[in-house]
Amino acid sequence: MDRATGGRVQGAGRWRDHRSAGHADRHECHCRPATSATGRGHVTDPQELNGPVLSASDLHVAFGERAVLTGVDLDVPPRSVVAIIGPSGGGKTTLLRTFNRMNDLVPGARVSGSVRFQGVDLYAPHVDPAEVRRRIGMVFQQPTPFPKSVFENVSFGVRIAGEHEDVDHAVVEALKAAGLWDEVSDSLSRSALDLSLGQQQRLCIARSLAIAPEVLLMDEPTSALDPIATRRVEELIRTLSDRYAIVVVTHNLQQAARLSDYTAYMDEGEIIEFGPTETVFTNPREARTEAYVTRRAG
């Protein structure tokens, strides 16, 4: 059944919207991790991924009468980098935004199927979308620093999340994790807008890390950066994958090949193929995948 995004969805425990839920709703959720249905193309068995941290099953997304995702099945394993590749207009960014309910902000958006994070249906009634976005952070194509100081950019999310104790420590640790501390430690009061584009993007990553997400979504995070800044962000992504599941949309096939552990090829709103990156690039099972990765299509 289609569900218009924008309402709150039923979860359990900390996923509930505590603004409308009672004290009894505040217990922890002990849901079983979901398993993924086998869908279009070839999808790696969940057991091979040691259990998904984030899972989409028979996911459909439409905006008004325009269907954008048509039955997507995808499992994201923990502590890994998943690249999503494919032609423009194939649904990659929509899928990314559906994972953390960013499409709730788009009038007329409708979602059916399921998106599960650690077993919790993120589109069930009374799950708080803000909590979803805290747990599943997002970094956009263009750096989006606030017109505030470096310190205020990182501390903003911490304060909004209600974590008021030891904000300074959270900011320092996030900047260190984003590989930016050594470059800005003496100028935390400096405007974030004065940083280079590469530094701004790492600042945005630090801002996401400061509120302790468990998954990071990145929509073409290096497309606006020069090669040196791109390399630094790629190195950062690889380092962060020791702790987080990271999903990266990219049009750069070389980047996907060198950066990711798993690759999903999308086209026309479907996952055509998903598996270990080396397999997808060197021995794909689907002719459409082979045509794309060898640049005969797209």
The mean pLDDT value for 68-85 works out to 97
* Average pLDDT over all residues of the chain: 85
Report which of residues 27 and 255 the model is more confident about: 255
Residue 164: per-residue pLDDT: 65
pLDDT in tens, 152-163: 999 997 887 776
Question: What's the pLDDT at 109?
Answer: 94
pLDDT of residue 97: 96
Q: Is the pLDDT of residue 23 over 80?
A: no
Q: Which DSSP string do the residues of 87-100 spell out, in sequence order?
A: -TTSSHHHHHHHHT
pLDDT-derived band at 51 (thresholds 50, 70, 90) equals confident
- Buried (b) or exposed (e) across 89-123, using 16+ Cβ within 10 A? ebbbbbbbbbbbbbbbeeeebbbebbbbbbbbbbb
For position 246, what pLDDT does the model report? 98
Q: How confident is the model at residue 296 (pLDDT cuts 50, 70, 90)?
A: low
CB count, 10 Å around CB of 289? 26
pLDDT of residue 15: 53
Residue ranges of alpha helices (H) inside the chain are 92-99, 129-135, 150-160, 167-177, 181-184, 197-209, 227-240, 253-259, 277-282, 287-293
Mean pLDDT of 201-208: 96
Select the more confidently predicted residue: 25 or 202.
202
Q: Is pLDDT of 13 > 70? A: no
Q: Model's pTM, two decimal places?
A: 0.82
pLDDT at 290 over 70: yes
pLDDT at 295: 84
Residue 225: the pLDDT is: 94
What's the fold here for domain 8-22+32-293?
Rossmann fold (3.40.50)
Nearest to 224 by CA among 191, 187, 250, 243: 250
Identify which has the larger pLDDT, 39 or 92.
92
pLDDT tens, position by position, 213-243: 999 999 999 999 999 999 999 999 999 999 9
Place of tokens 């009061």: 189
In the prediction, which pLDDT does 126 show?
86
Lowest mean per-residue pLDDT among 6-10, 90-94, 241-245: 6-10
Domain-wise residue ranges, the chain: 8-22+32-293
Query: What is the arithmetic mean of pLDDT over 10-25?
Result: 40
